[in-house]
Structure 1
Amino acid sequence: MRSVRLLPRLLMAALTTAALLVPQGAAAAVDDTRGAGPEVVREKRLDSRLVELTLDSAALGRDAKVRLLTPDGWERRAPGDRWPVLYLLAGGHGDPEAWTQDYAVHELPELRDVLVVMPEMPVFGFYSDWWNEGAGGPPGVESFHLDEVRPLLERKYGAGARRVAAGESQGGFGAISYAARHRGLFRAVASYSGYVHPLQHPHAVKAGLDYMGMDWRALWGDPVAQRANWKAHDPYYLAERLRGTPVHLSSGDGTAGVLDPPDVEPDPHVPGLEDPEAPFPEDVVSPTEAIMGEESRALATRLAAVGAPVTTHFYAGTHSPPYWSRELRSTLPDLLRALGVRAP
């Protein structure tokens, strides 16, 4: 989610798309042999560098959008031309427009030599193929991104094999979880206020999905009965698989910070978000960010313990785009370095 302050808007979006959110089974491995892949229903140029693709996605069971911020020379590409790729993964709102509207990534000179991929995600899709009591069915978010979007872009749109990923909130979870579940997929990943250890706060996952009017057990099942499925998606339990991938974790602590307005208002009350056995301190105005901070710190400790390369930035602040914009710009040089791209 862009911010928990946008939850009412997210609830409206979830209700209007509820019919499309019939969950899917456990995620499949990346597979380039699944036939022709999704059909490009529409290709729309938004400006000199932004292109929006609309795909007929079997994994999602509907049309879905992917935005591309194209590098210099991309429109004159030859069939064999390839560019390094930065995947930017949106929060729980799933809106790829956030990266241009909230963060103005199209204005960053560092991205003139990189293909930036900003895929859509169903509202609160959690970058997973949904479990749905083991029955399968859309939304297969992980399959959409990795089995449909990625091969398509590499076949037809100049995407190369050098990849990094970064994401906000649920997108931070997506970047880290994808990297761990598919070793070698990304050369480096970054999470900004990510849900990076869901089993540390399963009540928060339940509360968020309940708030959106969605069946929380449809995601990964019950955290006790289907604990193995939760662990199979939780980066904390996949830490050893990240030993070869540089990981950056950043998060606030839920208190008001330097990028919050002086009159910052507390997050709206989401029933069940706060653990009654471990209430938040009185100065926490963003419970969501307090949870993200705890999860990010726990994952950082775990990664260091298993010898995985991890860097961190923890600060006072809330669950909001100004912090994620700052963190994106701060980590971009390292992400580009992992791609072998020299920043201007």
Structure 2
Amino acid sequence: MRRSRRHRGSPRARLAVLTVTAALLATGGALEASTAQGAPAPSTRRAAGADDGARVVGRHWLDERTVDLTVRSPAVGADVPVRVLLPVSYAEAPERERPVLYLLHGAHDDYTSWTRETDVEEFLAGQDVITVMPSAGPTGIPTDWWNFGRRTPDYETFQVDEVRGLLRDEFHAGPRRAVAGVSTGGYGALALAARRPGAFAAAASYSGILDTSAPGMTSVVDAIIAREGRLPATLWGSPLLQRADWTAHNPYRLAARLKGTRLYVSQGSGIPNDDFGNLDGAILEGTLWWQAQGFVRHLTDLGVPVRAHLYRGGTHAWSAWRGEFEASWPTLAAGLGLGTD
């Protein structure tokens, strides 16, 4: 799954990595509804709103298979963008129930990253699955923010509950789901699967933060939040005073709850082998290397099966993640009922 041109990463993505790297060294409006020509006509569509009050307030078709939805989310308290990618088979059988694949973006990026940086449109064209790329905000952390006890914005409820209902209403999506993500989206894939056992049949993380209590990880998380102009404590509170909240959102601490979920975990060592100019990404990837190894060992100790690819080389960049998605596809497809791994 390779694009014809080489992607070096957007300037804001590279600045984000530099910000996190510096911290490590120091510490150790709605889219208007529109339809593009050639977009599939909606099936016998039910009301465009989930049972929890979320509703679609905008649709913008990019082509006959790709639509950007604007969702008015009670959980987030704002209008949130969501990209949906339909399979080729959808046009002929829109009423057929299909499983759903979530693709989660990383920090300081957005819901367009997967279609911008990879060839998922072509790769998934022949798979009978609805692919959804929901926003998790600029930090890319799909969680319910502590926010001094206000518990908002709540991107966990948005992604797991509200998006599910809207996909059912808009595209006749079925209940079977899998989730995969890069960087903070990789955190989200494992955290959501662990916090909501049974919600996802498979989960994959590519260079994710999988143990927020591991050495250096608090600094990484704090730098991500600060980069977006927010107080780090607004995420899950103080690691000491709100320790229970940090524990309740840590995939490592919730690992036993992943039993029964098909898992794929990949992580590079941070020694560049294909992108020698990305030194900052190499440092960040190397920092994440040790906590990923510990997470995989912890799963093994708990008797939780996992397919792991902890590889030498690679940086914190799409140049590595594109291939990892393709390698994880058998695991995700098996969870979606599309094949076996």
Displacement of 1:333 in angstroms is 2.1
Q: Is the 8 A contact 1:125 1:141 kept in 2?
A: no
Q: Is the 8 A contact 2:147 2:234 kept in 1?
A: yes
Which residue, out of 144, 149, 161, partners 2:175? 161
Displacement of 1:177 in angstroms is 0.4
Q: Which residue of 1 aligns with 2:209?
A: 195
Q: Which residue of 2 aligns with 1:29?
A: none
Letter in 1 for 2:138: V
Separation in 2, partners of 1:290, 1:176: 20
Q: 1:73 is paired with a residue of what secondary structure?
A: helix
Deviates more, 1:128-137 or 1:223-232: 128-137
Q: Is the 8 A contact 2:87 2:125 kept in 1?
A: no
User: Is 1:6 the counterpart of 2:13 in the alignment?
Assistant: yes
Q: TM (normalized to structure 1)?
A: 0.81
Distance 1:125 1:133, change over 3 A: farther
Which residue, out of 166, 171, 176, partners 2:190? 176
Displacement of 1:116 in angstroms is 0.6
Distance 1:94 1:150, change over 3 A: farther
Separation in 1, partners of 2:158, 2:198: 19
Q: Which residue of 2 aligns with 1:333?
A: 330
User: Is 1:208 the counterpart of 2:224 in the alignment?
Assistant: yes
Q: Which residue of 1 aligns with 2:287?
A: 291
Separation in 1, partners of 2:258, 2:207: 19
CA deviation digits over 1:273-305, x for unaligned, max 9? Answer: xxxxxxxxxxxx622212222221111011111
Separation in 1, partners of 2:11, 2:199: 30
Displacement of 1:188 in angstroms is 1.0
Q: Is the 8 A contact 1:51 1:67 kept in 2?
A: yes
Aligned positions, number: 300
Separation in 1, partners of 2:278, 2:309: 24
Alignment of 1:241-256 (within 5 A): 241-256=257-272
Displacement of 1:207 in angstroms is 2.5
Distance 1:321 1:265, change over 3 A: closer
Separation in 1, partners of 2:240, 2:10: 29
Letter in 1 for 2:213: L
Q: Is the 8 A contact 1:4 1:288 kept in 2?
A: no
Distance 1:333 1:74, change over 3 A: same
Separation in 1, partners of 2:151, 2:293: 33
Q: 1:305 is paired with a residue of what secondary structure?
A: helix
* RMSD after superposition: 2.4
Q: Which residue of 1 aligns with 2:23?
A: none
Q: Which residue of 2 aligns with 1:25?
A: none
- Contiguous gaps of at least 5 residues in structure 2: 1-8, 19-48
Query: Percent identity over the alignment?
Result: 39
Q: TM (normalized to structure 2)?
A: 0.82
Distance 1:110 1:38, change over 3 A: same
Which residue, out of 310, 313, 325, partners 1:314? 310
- Contiguous gaps of at least 5 residues in structure 1: 12-32, 268-284
